[in-house]
Amino acid sequence: MQSITRIFLTKFIIFFITFLQSFNCQADINKLNKADSLFNNQNYQEAFLIYEDLLQNDESYSPAMLLKMAFISEGIGDYSQASFYLAKYYDENPNQRVITKIKALTEQSTLIGYELSDRDRFLRFLTDLQSEITATISVILIFSLILLLFYFKGNIKPKYYLPSIILIIMAFIANNFLDAQKTGIITGSPTLIMDKPTAGGKLINVVDPGHRVVIKSSKDIWYEVKWGEKRGYVKKENITRL
C-alpha cells in the first residue's frame, strides 16, 4: 500500500508540473494569436505592442512574429529597428534572403558577421532545445533516484550510483553550458571598432549599422566582439543585443 501511494504521489507531481508549464505556454500562445489577428486586420500598432511585450519578457513567440515586427518597423520608417528584428530572425533561421533585406534597409552592399558554420548551426539547434533536453534528463534522473531508493534500499552497490551521477552531470552541463553565443547588431552610425576598450586605442574600422557581431564579454561601457578574425571593442550604446 505504501509503495502504491509513493508511485501515485510521484506521478501526480510530474503531472502537476507538466500542467503548469502547458498552462503558461497556452497563455502565451493566446497572446500571440491575438496579436496575429490584429496584424491580419491591419491594426499594426496594437499588434506591435503585444509582440513587443512577448519579446521583452522572453515569452513564447514565433519567428514569423519577428518578420511582422520588421514589417511594421519598416512601414513607419524605423529601418534600424527593422534590421534588428530581421537579424534576430536570422539568428534563429539563417536565410540568405534575410541578409539581402538587411542590406537593402541599411543601404550596404556587404555585411559582416552573418556567416554560420555547420558547428554554429548544430549548437544553435541544441540551444533551442535546451529546456526540453534539461527537462528530459531531469525526469530520467528522478526515476533513477526512485529506483535506487525503493528497489535497491539496503543493498545499494557503488556501481548502481553511476547512472544517476552521469545524469546529474549531464543535467548540469545542459542547464549551465548549453547556451548560444551572445550576439548583437551594430545600430550606431558611425560605429568605431577599437583594438582596446578605450578611446585611446588603435582604430580597427569605422562601420555603419547592420553588421552582426558575436559578443565575447562586457567591460564597463564596452563590448568585446569578434570582428572577422580579430578581437575588437565597441561601445555598448552602438550595439543592440539580439
pTM value? 0.64
Residue 34, amino acid: K
Task: Name 86's Cβ contacts closer than 8 Å, sequence gap at least 6.
Answer: 66, 67, 70, 98, 101, 102, 105
Choose the final residue of a domain: 136, 158, 176: 176
- Domain check: are 153 and 171 in the same one? yes
Choose the final residue of a domain: 133, 160, 176: 176
- Domain check: are 106 and 49 in the same one? yes
- Domain check: are 103 and 191 in the same one? no
- Domain check: are 83 and 166 in the same one? no
- pLDDT on residue 2: 44
- Domain check: are 88 and 11 in the same one? yes
Residues 92-138 have pLDDT tens digits of 788 888 889 988 888 888 888 887 767 776 777 777 677 788 888 88
- Domain check: are 99 and 9 in the same one? yes
- Domain check: are 46 and 146 in the same one? no
- pLDDT on residue 180: 66
- pLDDT on residue 12: 43
Choose the final residue of a domain: 90, 111, 132: 111
- Domain check: are 145 and 229 in the same one? no
- pLDDT on residue 23: 40
- Domain check: are 198 and 217 in the same one? yes
- Domain check: are 18 and 101 in the same one? yes
- Domain check: are 12 and 104 in the same one? yes
- Domain check: are 38 and 86 in the same one? yes
- Per-residue DSSP letter, 238: G
Full residue range of the structural domain in which residue 26 is found: 2-111
Residue 185 grid cell:
547588431
**Domain of 192: which CATH number?**
2.30.30.40
- pLDDT on residue 147: 75
- pLDDT on residue 152: 62
- Count of domains forming the chain: 3
Give the residue ranges of the chain where pLDDT is below 50. 1-2, 4-24
SS3 155: coil
Average pLDDT score, the chain: 79
